[in-house]
Homo-oligomer: A and B are copies of this chain.
Amino acid sequence: MIGRLNHVAIAVPDLEAAAARYRDVLGARVGAPQPEPEHGVTVVFIELPNTKLELLHPLGEDSPIKGFLEKNPAGGIHHICFEVEDILAARDRLVAQGARVLGSGEPKIGAHGKPVLFLHPKDFNGTLIELEEV
């Protein structure tokens, strides 16, 4: 069911410093910060040859990564995202097998303009998993 690893998302306390580290020290292709107010984050995309990284920094009061950074002030890997062909079929299969979908259970439009769902980390070894329909 799951396809490509779409991205690894890393929450960071200082977006400019983190972007500079990846660009200058690791020599990666690092984009400009993109505010995404509807998702409560500012994102820096890092393009690798086979996938991408997303550096996330909170934007606004209700950012979904605010609590994570309070618990992990230095930052850390926040989630990984797998691509699926049909997100409703994926959700139904997951739920039928007892996995928990976060929130209402209905896909939302994610940061790339595609439908996404998040799965409960307790069902997947402490790993927050995003599914994105592509």
Least CB distance, A87 to chain B, in whole angstroms? 13
Is B13 in contact with A125, judged by CB distance below 8 angstroms?
Answer: yes
Residue in B closest to A14 when the chains form the complex, CB atoms: B125
Looking at the complex, which of A32-40, A46-54, A58-66, A107-115 is the stretch in contact with chain B? A46-54
Mark A1-36 against chain B: 1 for CB-CB distance below 8 A, else 0.
111110010111100001001001111100000000
Mark A69-112 against chain B: 1 for CB-CB distance below 8 A, else 0.
00010111100101000000000011001110000000000000
* A93 neighbours in B (Cβ, 8 Å): 25, 27
A binding-site residues for B, Cβ under 8 Å: 1-5, 8, 10-13, 18, 21, 24-28, 48-51, 53, 55, 72, 74-77, 80, 82, 93-94, 97-99, 121-127, 129
